[in-house]
C-alpha cells in the first residue's frame, strides 16, 4: 500500500498514472540508461560523468535526427 | 605520483575478492587444493549474482562497490517505476508465445521491482496511449540494465573484472 501512496504522490492521479511529453519521457530514458552505462564501463567519477553526459547528448541527437528522418513518411 | 596511483588503485579495488585474478583462478585449479577454492568462489559468485538480480545493486554492495550499487539501484528503480507510472505492459509468465516469454524475461530481470508492479500499476497497463507503450520499453530496459549489472557483479566476484 505504501507503493500505491508513492505512485499517487508522484503522479497526482488516483490511478497512479502520469502524463508526460514524449520528449521528456525520452530524456528520462536517455539519462537513466546513460548513467547506468557510465557506471558499468567507467572507473572514476570524473570519467563516469563525462561518459554519461556524452552518451546522453548522443541519445538525444540520434532520437531527434531519426525523428526528422521519419517525418516524410508520417503522413 | 607512483605512490598516489598505487593508493588510488587500492581504494578503487577494495573488494575482498580483488586480490585474486583470473590467472590465479587457473593456477588454483591446477594446484592440489585449488579446485575447492575455485568451486567455493564460483558458488559465492553465483550467490552474489542472485542477490544482484533480486535487489538491483545488492551484488555490488556485497562486493563493496558502493558507487555502482547506488547507480544500478537508482537507474533500474527509476526506469521500472517510470514505466509503471506510464502504465506500461508488465508481461506475465505465459508459455507458448515467444514474444510474451521474451517480455516476461526482460521484466522479471528487474527483480524486486517486478513484484512491486502490482502496487505501482493499480489500474493495470494502458498501451492504447503512446505513454503506455513507452512504459513497456522503460520496464524492459530496466530489466536489461539489471541483467548487465548481474553479469558485472558475477565477473567481479570471480575476479575476472577488476575495475
- B87 and A CB contact within 8 Å: yes
CB contact (8 A) between residue B12 and residue A7 = no
Whole-number pLDDT of residue A6: 59
- B4 and A CB contact within 8 Å: no
pLDDT at A3 > cutoff 80: no
CB contact (8 A) between residue B68 and residue A39 = yes
Please name which of B85, B137, B150, B83 lies closest in space to residue B111, comparing C-alpha atoms. Answer: B150
Whole-number pLDDT of residue B8: 47
pLDDT at B3 > cutoff 60: no
8 A C-beta contact, residue B134 and residue B99: no
Probe site for chain B from A6, A22, A28, A39 (most B CB atoms < 10 A) = A39
Nearest to A25 among B81, B126, B134 (CB): B134
User: What residues of chain B lie within 8 A of the CB of A49, using their CB?
Assistant: none
Query: Which run of H or of E encompasses B133?
Result: helix B130-158
What are the φ and ψ backbone dihedral angles of B146, each rounded to 5 degrees?
Answer: -65, -35
* Host domain of residue A41: 19-73
Most confident of A15-19, A44-48, B96-100, B114-118: A44-48
pLDDT at A58 > cutoff 90: yes
Please give the Cα distance from B31 to B34 (Å, whole number): 5
A38 in any annotated domain: yes
A33 in any annotated domain: yes
pLDDT at B18 > cutoff 50: no
User: What residues of chain B lie within 8 A of the CB of A20, using their CB?
Assistant: 86, 131
Whole-number pLDDT of residue B159: 86
A13 in any annotated domain: no
CB contact (8 A) between residue B122 and residue A4 = yes
pLDDT-above-70 percentage for chain B:
79
**How does DSSP assign B17-60, residue by residue?**
TTT--HHHHHHHHHSTTHHHHHHHHHHHHHHHHHHHHHSTTHHH
pLDDT-above-90 percentage for chain B:
44
pLDDT tens profile B58-96: 999 999 998 999 999 999 999 999 999 888 888 888 777
User: What residues of chain B lie within 8 A of the CB of A6, using their CB?
Assistant: 120
A7 in any annotated domain: no
**For the residues B4-10, what does the mean pLDDT come to?**
47
pLDDT at B155 > cutoff 60: yes
- Name every residue whose Cβ is closer than 8 Å to that of residue B126 and which is 6 or more positions away in sequence: A17, B87, B132
A5 in any annotated domain: no
pLDDT tens profile B25-64: 444 444 555 677 888 889 999 999 999 999 999 999 999 9
Lowest mean pLDDT among A6-10, A34-38, A70-74, B157-161: A6-10
A8 in any annotated domain: no
pLDDT at B163 > cutoff 50: yes
Amino acid at each position: 500500500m505504501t507503493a500505491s501512496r508513492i505512485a499517487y504522490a508522484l503522479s497526482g492521479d488516483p490511478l497512479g498514472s502520469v502524463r508526460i511529453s514524449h520528449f521528456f519521457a525520452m530524456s528520462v530514458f536517455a539519462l537513466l540508461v546513460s548513467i547506468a552505462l557510465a557506471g558499468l564501463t567507467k572507473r572514476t567519477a570524473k570519467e563516469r560523468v563525462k561518459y554519461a553526459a556524452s552518451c546522453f547528448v548522443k541519445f538525444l541527437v540520434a532520437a531527434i535526427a531519426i525523428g526528422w528522418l521519419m517525418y516524410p513518411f508520417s503522413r | 605520483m607512483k605512490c598516489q596511483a598505487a593508493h588510488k588503485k587500492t581504494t578503487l579495488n577494495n573488494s575482498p575478492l580483488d586480490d585474486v585474478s583470473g590467472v590465479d583462478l587457473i593456477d588454483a585449479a591446477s594446484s592440489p587444493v585449488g579446485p575447492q577454492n575455485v568451486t567455493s568462489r564460483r558458488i559465492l559468485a553465483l550467490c552474489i549474482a542472485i542477490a544482484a538480480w533480486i535487489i538491483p545493486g545488492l551484488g555490488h554492495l556485497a562486493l563493496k562497490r558502493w558507487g555502482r550499487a547506488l547507480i544500478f539501484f537508482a537507474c533500474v528503480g527509476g526506469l521500472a517505476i517510470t514505466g509503471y507510472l506510464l502504465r506500461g505492459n508488465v508481461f506475465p509468465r505465459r508459455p507458448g508465445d515467444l514474444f510474451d516469454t521474451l517480455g516476461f524475461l526482460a521484466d522479471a530481470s528487474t527483480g524486486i521491482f517486478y513484484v512491486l508492479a502490482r502496487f505501482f500499476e493499480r489500474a493495470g497497463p494502458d498501451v492504447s496511449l503512446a505513454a503506455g507503450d513507452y512504459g513497456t520499453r522503460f520496464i524492459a530496459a530496466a530489466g536489461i540494465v539489471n541483467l548487465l549489472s548481474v553479469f558485472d557483479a558475477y565477473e567481479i566476484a570471480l575476479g575476472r573484472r577488476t575495475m
